Chain A
Amino acid sequence: MTSKKYILGVFNDEDVLLNAIEKTRAAGTKIYDVFSPYPIHGIDDVLGIQRSRLPIVAFFCGLCGTSFALWMQIYMLGFDWPMIIGGKPHIALPSFIPVTFELTVLFAAFGMVITFFIISGLRPTLKVPVMDVRSTDDKYVMAIELKEGTDISKLNDLLRSNGAIEVNEKEVVK
């Protein structure tokens, strides 16, 4: 059982928040995470979040789907049990395109979404570690991890001077 302490700066405007993130980072304070009720545009840049590589995952999963679909159809109708259907060649690629396309989309979508769930730790659970429940309603919460020897009052001043309406402390037991 380890517990970590966080200082939570609560904001009620996204532009004030973005400004505060920039100021906080400029002051050399490391931000643990920011919680908001909706995606804020421009927050990635100020927080230094890198562009997600999930599109690459989607591309390669899609490629797997394409290859699997082509292999399946060519193997089944071309080699395992060749039959003449409508006088077409055994491996009639044009009529394999629809199924290939559908499986490409299926694999790409599911591969990307499953990866997204795994890397973000999204799974069904009863106890959700929410820092402040208002962050899924109408408040923006900036969490800063408290380490040994952090000056709490200085942090408090920094957050308040940049527009935080509240500054709270929160202990999370892992």
Chain B
Amino acid sequence: MQHVSPIREPLVTGGKTYADITEDVCRQVEAKPNVRWMMGLGVSLVLLGVFIYSVYRTLWFGIGEWGLNKTVGWAWDITNFVWWVGIGHAGTLISAILLLFRQKWRTSINRAAEAMTIFAVICAAMFPVLHMGRPWLAYWVLPLPNTFGSLWVNFNSPLLWDVFAISTYFSVSLVFWYIGLIPDFATIRDRATGPIARRAYAILSMNWTGSAKHWSRYETVSLILAGLATPLVLSVHTIVSMDFATSVIPGWHTTIFPPYFVAGAIFSGFAMVLTLMIITRKTFKLEDYITLEHVESMNKVITLTGSIVGVAYITEFFIAWYSGVEYEQYAFINRATGPYWWAYWSMMTCNVITPQLFWFRSIRRSLTATFIISIFVNIGMWFERFVIIVTSLHRDFLPSSWVMFSPTSIDVGIYVGTIGLFFTLFLLFAKFFPVVNMAEVKSILKSSSGVSHTLNPGASLHGTAPNNSHKHD
């Protein structure tokens, strides 16, 4: 029924069987935590402590603990917010858009990538909530009647659109992730020996038995959720970009922002997926599932989106000149040559130049090079947001208001702290949840494992294994 191209590289190597997949993925869930994991969790918890301390300072003493001033009223907080939300986008892209495109290589990385999405959105949400200064009044962003002391919320404001976009994105991603986890929880449940594990995974697996009827509905639900999540993920960063694009600040007021932000989000998200997956495959010995083929595919996406981002930077410059608006022109000249030139050129180097190295196949397939470049991309994308936000604000309309922004230790503490929060959540996920989607990897095993799993090809009526009749010479 299905034609298998002989030139495609296998997505699951090492001649794995179905039982091997179960065994390899469940191993770290069932085994005692290893030393590397414990060390990682220790470091993450220390950073989480830094986060809690910085949040305490922010809430107790107020937003004055941050480096913001009258001119630069948005700086690290919104930079970090956009950075984290952007990182989250790769998870949805892998699980939803690649599902719609029937890309089989998504199967072994989608689980971890979706977990990354959820944790990244949690980290992102910290910043606007903390910037409120009084987060216990965060519910004021909801459309509540004015007996609460305010009028209705303003539905014309992109900041309110953000509230709806981010909370919808978070909850739909969470549901999508959980639906995918149910069959794998059932697998762990049926293997579990300890009484606590058996009960915990029984509850998590939601009565799943793997019945054909349920699988049929499950596939329908996954497909429709993917169809819903695809425009959703594009809308989220579009709306985030509108926080800037609908304002009248030179450097922000550009129509290119939505597609440029979405491309940047996918770019940074794939870099973070690579950073995480290279560590995960090593720590949990998943080299046969997350292969060089996977790394190469992701690097190709990075090259594409990195190039889109590069074109966007150049387009912005061109349009600033072409518009004839001197404020716009100044904003861009100031970015590249003003007091924040180092941030601009860090962004250009990390985002536009380094990913171009992936045109070389040997670099694309080198784990060390990929790991280093993925870190560069993450740094570059952080600087991109910093450059857009701070350099556009710090030269105000009146030269008497011109200032510089410098972060305080609390700014740094909250940012580094969210990295701790992210890795704490990710490490707990990696220990207690199956990091690879076993059911989906099993479903591609026959067509993409490089070895034929058909036991008696003569009896096969629905053969998917490559055989001689399909040979291309």
Please report A residues at the B interface, Cβ cutoff 8 Å: 12-16, 18-19, 22, 33-44, 47, 49, 51-52, 54-55, 58, 72-73, 76-77, 80-81, 83, 85-86, 88, 92, 95-96, 98-99, 101-103, 105-106, 108-110, 112-113, 116-117, 119-131, 133-138, 163
Contact = CB atoms under 8 A, between A and B. Distances in A.
A116 B206 CA distance: 12
B19 A137 contact: yes
Interface string B144-174: 0010000111111010110011001001100
B335 interface: no
B217 A116 contact: yes
Contacts of B202: 125-128
Interface stretch (B71-79, B208-216, B309-317): B208-216
B453 interface: yes
B123 to A, nearest CB: 21
B226 to A, nearest CB: 11
Interface of B: prevailing SS: helix
A113 B212 contact: no
A58 B155 contact: no
19 contacts: A19-B460, A37-B22, A38-B442, A52-B217, A54-B220, A55-B224, A58-B228, A85-B156, A92-B156, A96-B155, A103-B168, A105-B168, A105-B228, A109-B175, A116-B217, A119-B217, A137-B191, A138-B18, A138-B19
B191 A35 contact: no
Contacts of B232: 102, 105
A51 B216 CA distance: 8
B208 A128 contact: yes
Contact of B225 (A43, A80, A113): A113
Contacts of A12: 455
A37 B212 contact: no
Interface stretch (B45-53, B178-186, B324-332, B342-350): B178-186
Residue with the greatest number of chain A CB neighbours at <10 A, chosen from B165, B202, B203, B206: B206
Contact of B214 (A95, A96, A120): A120
Interface string B403-424: 0000000000000000000000
Contacts of B18: 37, 137-138
B17 interface: yes
Contact of B183 (A38, A47, A130): A38
B207 to A, nearest CB: 5
A54 B224 contact: yes
A19 B199 CA distance: 36
A95 B232 CA distance: 17
Contact of A85 (B154, B176, B204, B209): B154
B464 interface: yes
A76 B155 contact: yes
Interface string B104-148: 000000000000000000000000000000000000000100100
B298 to A, nearest CB: 24
A117 B179 CA distance: 10
A39 B228 contact: no
A109 B225 contact: yes
A36 B22 contact: no
B454 A102 contact: no
B187 interface: yes
A39 B218 contact: yes
Contact of B152 (A58, A81, A109, A122): A81
B70 interface: no
Given A37-B442, A49-B213, A85-B156, A76 B143 contact: yes
Contacts of B439: 37-39
Given A80-B152, A98-B164, A122-B208, A39 B190 contact: no
Contacts of A136: 183, 186-187, 189-190, 208, 210
A117 B164 contact: no
B294 interface: no
A39 B212 CA distance: 7
Given A73-B155, A133-B190, A13 B19 contact: no
B152 A77 contact: yes
A126 B197 CA distance: 11
A95 B156 contact: yes
B207 A40 contact: no
A99 B224 contact: no
Nearest to A31: B212
A95 B218 contact: no
Contacts of B90: none
Contacts of B235: 98, 101-102
B459 interface: yes
Nearest to A74: B155
B455 A16 contact: yes
